[in-house]
Structure 1
């Protein structure tokens, strides 16, 4: 017999109350409102030569530029960004920083079973280096290491959380009063609290801070400069055409993630899936006490279609996840950033989780595209005889992993044989996602299969089992 899910696709809170909570919300990402962008940087004008060109001004590209100058302060590094630094996924995400490079242990075991010990070591080193770099340069990213609470909202999830607990108490399994010390919700059945290797940042402040550091190190950043093509003649430098001129570079690092790769052969290995987020007004101490959430930890539930939520510095609650919307044709468009149906569903689920907060309002509602890959983690590699490197497919759990991707691209461009470049995620591509007209019905079918898995006590049906055999995963 199937178990009804805590959440659902139908709005169950009073619809008028849901709509009232969303009325007047800003469509801009909260982070970009809270940390106004620095003065716009000039676009490129004319042709230029450089040692290293970084394409993309999000986290992956910014880390690549910073690390490149740290490795070799003398090399000329140019970074180009089509719009503004940090405007896309890097300024829209939840700000969760996890050490994991595998989107969880189960997914890691599915794809990289024989490499997990090495991956875990590299993940810890990357997380530690990220923390230390932010501190060393004085980046005001609001870095907090306050732990993560994973909650069971369905009966079948309780035993899985219990089995994941460790004898040393990290992570620790929570029930009853112990769980209520971390949060009080009618949907919480059990919890797993992990203290190590989980942090939270202000995404926009981190992006703007990395860009400022890059410039202090000598990186030249050009905004409003869109790359439109790439040529790599057998002899000579790699040529990247832009809307403002041609850049000739010895090496090129592609950090365009969800946007179509300058290497056409890579374009079927990611697909843009939109995630949507709400941000509440600041909550009072009494309101937070009412829901038992007096700590600074983040929270996520255990379903395949899951929610993630955390606090900001001024005690707002960011509430996102669950919906994963693919728009036909692999399109990434500004109009997709707003989706009333998703916002209403998210608000409904928020009040189901925290009925104590009935009547509060959401000040910001936004969306953004995630570059999903079928292995649910990033892949890295080199092309054009090692002169071009790429890193993409972060699938929504990549804030910390972008630094690892940057280091891996630099290793590849420098011809280094390292533990990073020997990993399967750096030597092979994931299973591709077919082009249209196959992609849209296939993704919708997979989404329905994921929803059925949640409704059926977490048991995967034949389609998800078959996909797993071929190394294909799907989550919200």
Structure 2
């Protein structure tokens, strides 16, 4: 029987003084760092009565913004309206860690598990999509603090080192031994690393969304905030979308509502809202900066099932900060999105303990911001697509935390579907095949808790997956990034 051993991070929770964590969070704003800026664009007016358009986009996050922008690029004469129930980028698109990855399927292994016959092509399409995303930033002059040094995956358990050695391909994924990885970021927690240089860039997520919004407005997209879509119905050669401010009649509709209630009722069990949390440090002093290194502005992730992500930020004053998030991914019974779930004090304390165990040279550093956000989790862990009302409506959701880059591709898929023409993209199995729906409550909650426990158990058993995880893999609801 394989021995179960506490992980580095579980040991951290036992050894780091809780008083240290409490002190580091005492004056922390419970607010999103990216959105807490005077440079946030002013609110746009809500819809004022009934309207009509060629294309209505529902949702003002990345997927909706990319859809509106690409629709105008394809045909500048298209009359595009975008509505959002709140503010543009106020939800997942403004709350994430800013890791913009090429993968469309949440990692090579997950893609191989779900779509083995086209995974290689999806990898190519993902890299093309990332390159086109960067080209769009340049074309429209969007300043979103783009860092192009990739990501380093680090091992913190001895058995994980072998995984990184196997992944070294001698090209864009380079194995880093202990001395090298600790030379890049000074931490005795790191045993080795794998530097992936070409498949990830880092961005300020809110500035990316706001830049896309500005580009949309300049191209003539009409954007209305505080306008919630409440219903949808067929209207012959058009579709009528009812909103909190009036009705919109549109020739085509693109639904990009992320984790929020879908207008298509058949999608109600296709995603569940999972909450993810992050901390942002105060600016490091010169001494702290020297103690940590991190001269190359790359991201960091670890190899646990319950993984962390961290990254550097050079803020508007030129000061160096560190974002640290992940580990907990919380599902609340009932699957309702509630404001009180956007914060988890126990998770903040846990993340602080993990941070100080990883970076003991930064002991005493305080956190300026702590926040959470909702991830639209699908059972296959990447986006799914659908059409309705005889092809006049297209939808996209389920990015499962990897939508910063993949949302642009999702927008492309929706526009191809709405065109009514067969393309390489519309014929992908990724587009045609749907993930399995989640079961209703209370089965969903029980299942998520069991999966979380099984993933933690696998981390303690050198990554070996138990019966539950193997069963979920077999039925198509497993995850391996």
Instruction: Name the TM tier (shorter chain).
Output: over 0.9
Conserved? CA contact 2:176–2:194, under 8 Å: yes
Per-residue deviation, residues 274-295 of structure 1 (Å, max 9, x unmatched) = 0000000011343133123222
TM-score normalised according to structure 1 size:
0.97
C-alpha RMSD over aligned residues: 1.3
In structure 2, distance between residues paired with 1:383 and 1:110: 28
What corresponds to 1:244 in structure 2? 245
What corresponds to 1:345 in structure 2? 350
Deviation at 1:124, TM superposition (A): 1.4
What corresponds to 2:471 in structure 1? 466
In structure 2, distance between residues paired with 1:130 and 1:325: 31
1:175-190 equivalences under 5 Å are: 175-190=177-192
1:428 pairs with one of 424, 433, 437: 433
In structure 1, distance between residues paired with 2:21 and 2:220: 49
1:78-97 equivalences under 5 Å are: 78-97=81-100
Conserved? CA contact 1:450–1:474, under 8 Å: no
User: SS where residue 145 of structure 1 aligns?
Assistant: coil
Count of aligned residue pairs for this structure pair: 474
User: SS where residue 370 of structure 1 aligns?
Assistant: strand
User: SS where residue 7 of structure 1 aligns?
Assistant: helix
Conserved? CA contact 2:80–2:222, under 8 Å: yes
What corresponds to 2:392 in structure 1? 387
What corresponds to 1:396 in structure 2? 401
Relative to structure 1, the CA distance from residue 342 to residue 474 in structure 2 (aligned partners, 3 Å threshold; closer, same or farther) is: farther
Deviation at 1:419, TM superposition (A): 2.0
Deviation at 1:223, TM superposition (A): 0.4
| 1:199 matched to 2:201 | yes
Per-residue deviation, residues 19-58 of structure 1 (Å, max 9, x unmatched) = 0000111111000013632111110011111100000000
Deviation at 1:109, TM superposition (A): 0.4
In structure 1, distance between residues paired with 2:233 and 2:358: 52
Conserved? CA contact 1:35–1:204, under 8 Å: no
In structure 2, distance between residues paired with 1:417 and 1:313: 44
In structure 2, distance between residues paired with 1:160 and 1:108: 17
Conserved? CA contact 2:269–2:439, under 8 Å: yes
Conserved? CA contact 1:297–1:310, under 8 Å: yes
Per-residue deviation, residues 234-280 of structure 1 (Å, max 9, x unmatched) = x2311100001011111000000100110010111110000000000
Unaligned runs of at least 5 residues, structure 2: none
In structure 2, distance between residues paired with 1:166 and 1:150: 14
In structure 1, distance between residues paired with 2:107 and 2:42: 38
Following TM superposition, the consecutive aligned residue runs of length 4 or more in structure 1 with deviations greater than 3 angstroms are 9-12
TM-score normalised according to structure 2 size:
0.96
2:71 pairs with one of 63, 68, 72: 68
User: SS where residue 301 of structure 2 aligns?
Assistant: strand
Deviation at 1:155, TM superposition (A): 1.2
| 1:116 matched to 2:88 | no
| 1:107 matched to 2:110 | yes
Per-residue deviation, residues 281-323 of structure 1 (Å, max 9, x unmatched) = 0113431331232221110001111000001123110000000
Unaligned runs of at least 5 residues, structure 1: none
